[in-house]
Amino acid sequence: MPKKINVLNHVLVPQHIVLSREDAIKILKKMGIKKKELPWILASDPAARAVGAKPGDVIMIIRESPTAGKSITFRYVMPG
Amino acid sequence: MELYDESTKVVAGLKFGLLSPEMIRKISVAKIDTPELYDEEGLPIPGGVMDRRLGTIEPGVRCATCGNTPLNCPGHFGHIELARPVIHPEFAKYIHTLLRATCRRCGRLLLQPDKIEKNRKRMEALGKHWIMLKYRFAEAIQKEAASINSCPHCRAPQYKIKFEKPYIFYEERDGILVKLSSAEIRERLERIPDEDLELLGFNPKDARPEWMVLRVLPVVPPAVRPSITLESGDRSEDDLTHKLVDILRVNQRLRENIEAGAPPLIVDDLWGLLQYHVATYFDNELPGIPPARHRSGRPLRTLAQRLKGKEGRFRGSLAGKRVDFSARTVISPDPNIGINEVGVPIDIAKVLIVPEKVTPWNIEEMRELVKNGPNRYPGANYIVRPDGARIDLRYVKDLEGLAQTLKPGYIVERHLRDGDIVLFNRQPSLHRMSIMAHIVKVLPYKTFRLNLLVCTPYNADFDGDEMNLHVPQSEEARAEARSLMLVQEQILTPRYGGPIIGAIHDYISGAYLFTRKDTIFDKNSASQLLYIAGYEGDLPEPAILKPGPYWTGKQLVSIFLPDDMDYVGRASVAPASGQCDEEFCENDGYVLIRNGKLLTGVFDKQALGAEKPETVLHEIVKEYGTEKAREIMDTMFRIFIAYLDMHGFTMGIDTIEIPESAIKDIEDILRKAEEDVQKLIDQYLSGELTPMPGKTRRETLEELIMQRLAQARTEAGEIASKYLGMTNHAVIMAKTGARGSMLNLTQMAAVLGQMSIRGKRIERGYIDRTLPHFRQRDLSPRARGFVYSNFSKGLRPTEFFFHAISGREGLVDTAVRTAQSGYMYRRLANALQDFYVAYDGSVRTSEGFIVQLRYGEDGVDPARSDHGRAVNVDKIIKKVLARRGEK
């Protein structure tokens, strides 16, 4: 059996963090948007699976950006 | 204003479905069954496709259904009862998937009952929130069901369904292909229960699959297929009418044959023909069948053709339309108008109109315009009274009298005149600078005139280019154009932040010559040049007092620079190898501006050039604003052209002439290279050549030869350059960045070098050789496309041929590239067109979904950034240091 690989350890995969319900609500409130207006990510996405995200969760992604240095973005987890 | 008075309703949603036969009959106002159009008197036959009940388009006749005049009658649908069902070609694909996924006997979905139940639950859950996923799931079910070959419900064996485009289906029974008739297909589709259809992604309420097999055909009203009466009195019918007549004719024959009990062979034949006509009625470009043709042999333009493609209803009539208040003509250059201006021919200015409201302050002026009427410039073409009545001044006898009746509140639609704002556009409109606002200057003759500096953003030249001009009609539009779209507001490109409007060609040559160390002027010529720039003010203290007062070009340029400007940079002419970071530079390449005075350095492409960021010009736009930049381009830049005229600037055959001895030297270099190449070839043939990593021995040889020959050309170029100094006008153009390169000059004066296809030496042609002039397997430079001649001497026949090969490749590449990038651009523009940056800085789609939380992740406008960064610390430090050095 092939060894299980954690995609999060790959250099090209940015940091994914599942937000708690409270944090997610706080952030959405700050941006003044509904969950569904966020970009989506499938629950079957390898990175989403690696952090154990369930449909309805919000994932925070922190990545290096050539223009902004560090950029933070969010994903709404969709079933699939 | 009238626009907003109409009562409006909000579209809550759109639903697409299939028309059921019952629905088609209900919509229909007339059953159409006669292939004849008109009787002997030329009146439409009831029951024919031009039946009066479908609405009429002839003036003076009223619609037999709604009683309206042609203008008010929207037209009404009719219907044809088809003698036998036929497949709608656009739905054949779906029929195929349904036939495969359901039982041929009982019509059930080919899955175990428990599995059906499980999938139904899943579908319901998905359908609540994720409709897209629901359909994806339905596709998976379709696929799974299609793979089953025995019905789990009635045990009937299933056969493979073969679909032959565009509308023929076969069933493979024990290796024999049996054709399925449309009637049979329809029966099978009818048997599929509603519940199973839902699992397959269909909505049985709005789209029962048997409706995809037509029994009744809607007849479109004549309003969408108007007939034209020719001068001879003959009628010419629309393609759709012809097609409908064809359908009716075959339909009638088919019905008669069936009723007469004709042999099935004949009936099937006619049935196939009916199917063909109905299919081509929908789409006449179906793959696999010949298009239906007009008597003249021209393919008919049927429903799908009306919608599809560039000239179709969507791209041609809805997404793009022809507009009023616009003009198009050839463009030509005018260096004497400002960059914000556009020269409009007087004949065009008399046709394009601007509505102007009469007020107590302009009433006299408006009266004058009305008096002049439509033919005398400046005049007016229409008057709109407050009650909305339009008066066409072409037909007014007493203009004088009419002018006196003008009162505040009237609108005068006057001719375009100097100072009006217009939009100017050159296709292809690839970036926002392709449409810019200009200020009108009415000029004689028949071309649009534009300043040479705006050629770059429009990508225009004057070899016959045409451009379009649009006149904004509302005060809001004019204000918006003036403050956002005016040329000077577009100097900085949002692509990378540099100025896209700047010096080109002669402006650069002129700027260089003008700011050179040895350029000095006496009082006369200095005054003359400053006058050309429109400068009104004192001359500065002359730099040279003996033998008389003389001013340097640098001094005159400094007059126009902002008084407190500081700048440090390098010129294009500065040698690449360092050294020029100090004041003492061999070509005066160290550009230093302090307190608005150009102290050292020359102005060339690196200082004022278009499409060059981090230049003097860029600095001026950013630090002193677009107005200052515009002013400099309309004044200082004009001096450069004037000086170039004064100085004289030309190039001829003698410009690229080098002495006999230099030609000898170049020949020696080439001979030496040839010998080296021969050595490499010998090494290769004797097997001594060691291959480079990742390459074969042959590839290694080619690589080494290419390297050696490239080196030879560089050396030859250097020899030639020695005799072509900065006094040479061609060299000035190349070194300052005005036009051409040193490589171009090398090719003219010394040697053309290696011709190539796809980056390789030329190898193709005959067996083991490029041309019959050479021996087979000859690897020498001459036999593989190295051109020893130069353009000045002329090419040998074989060389000329190699050169043509290489040239053709370049041509083909550009053609392919433009086509490919054009298509890619179209798709990108369509995909991104309604994204916008919201007030919170996020990028959103038209539905409000977030694409980027912050525009570009950092919220920086590239047009106002330093190479994408909000602040450039290095530059600030450099500037501060320059200031400090002043102390």
Confidence (pTM): 0.76
The verdict on A30 touching B (C-beta cutoff 8 Å) is no
Q: Is A55 in CB contact (< 8 Å) with chain B?
A: no
> Distance between CA atoms of B843 and B857, rounded to whole angstroms?
10
CB-based contact, A64 to chain B, within 8 Å = no
Alpha-carbon distance of B391 to B397, in angstroms, equals 12
B669 with B716: CB under 8 angstroms?
A: yes
Q: Which residues does chain B have within 8 Å of residue A65's beta carbon, measured at their own beta carbons?
A: 857-858
- Output phi, psi for B521, to 5 deg: -130, 145
A-chain residues within 8 Å CB-CB of B850?
A: 33, 37-39
- What does each C-alpha distance from B3 to B7, B26, B137, B386, B477 come to in angstroms? 10, 35, 46, 17, 16
Query: What pLDDT does residue B577 have?
Result: 66
Identify the bridge partners of residue B299 per DSSP, sorted by sequence position.
B293
Q: Would an 8 Å CB–CB cutoff place B841 in contact with chain A?
A: no
* Cβ <8 Å between B853 and A31: yes
Other residues' Cβ atoms within 10 Å of the Cβ of residue B238:
17
Distance CA B698, CA B750 (A): 29
Chain B residues with CB-CB distance to A45 below 8 A: none
Evaluate the omega torsion of the peptide bond into residue B547 and state whether it is cis, within 30 degrees of 0: yes
User: What is the pLDDT, as a whole number, of residue B611?
Assistant: 87
Residues A14-35: tens digit of each pLDDT: 999 999 989 999 988 888 888 8
* pLDDT at position B887: 42
Helix (H) or strand (E) holding B369: helix B363-372
- Residue A32, chain B, CB below 8 Å: the answer is yes
Distance CA(B633)–CA(B608), nearest Å, equals 10
Q: Say how far residue B830 (Cα) sits from the centre of its chain.
A: 11
Closest CA to B763 of B813, B829, B715, B706: B706
Distance CA B713, CA B300 (A): 60
Reported ipTM: 0.89
Q: What is the pLDDT of residue B2?
A: 47
B197-232 exposure pattern, b = at least 16 Cβ within 10 A, e = fewer: bbbbbbeeeebbbbbbbbbbbbbbbbbebeeeeeee
Three-state SS string over B644-710 comes to HHHHCCCCCHHHHCCCHHHHHHHHHHHHHHHHHHHHHHHHHHHCCCCCCCCCCHHHHHHHHHHHHHH
d(CA B237, CA B250): 19
Give dist(CA B335, CA B449) in Å, integer.
Answer: 9
What residues of chain A, 35 to 54, have a C-beta less than 8 Å from chain B?
A: 36-39
Helix (H, G, I), strand (E, B) or coil at B380: strand
How remote is the C-alpha of B857 from its chain's centroid? 28
Nearest to A67 among B133, B850, B856 (CB): B856
- Tell whether B856 is within 8 A of chain A (Cβ): yes
Residues of chain B neighbouring A32 (CB-CB closer than 8 A): 840
Name the residue among B609, B503, B622 with its Cα closest to residue B862.
Answer: B622
> pLDDT under 70 in chain B at which residues?
1-7, 577-583, 867-868, 882-883, 885-887
- Cα separations in angstroms, B696 against A54, B300, B667, B690, B757: 54, 58, 32, 9, 19
Q: How far B38 CA lies from chain A's nearest CA (Å)?
A: 60
- Any B CB within 8 A of A78 CB: yes
A12 touches B at CB < 8 Å:
no
Q: In B527-625, where do the E strands start and end?
A: 551-552, 567-570, 590-594, 597-600
- Dihedral class, residue B759 (left if φ above 0, else alpha if ψ from -120 to 50, else beta): left
Q: For A7-78, give the CATH class.
A: alpha beta
| Domain coordinates in residue numbering, chain A | 7-78
- Closest-CA residue in chain A for B838? A31
CA dist., res. B201 & res. B741, Å (int): 63
Residue B858 is nearest to which of A36, A68, A79, comparing CB atoms? Answer: A68
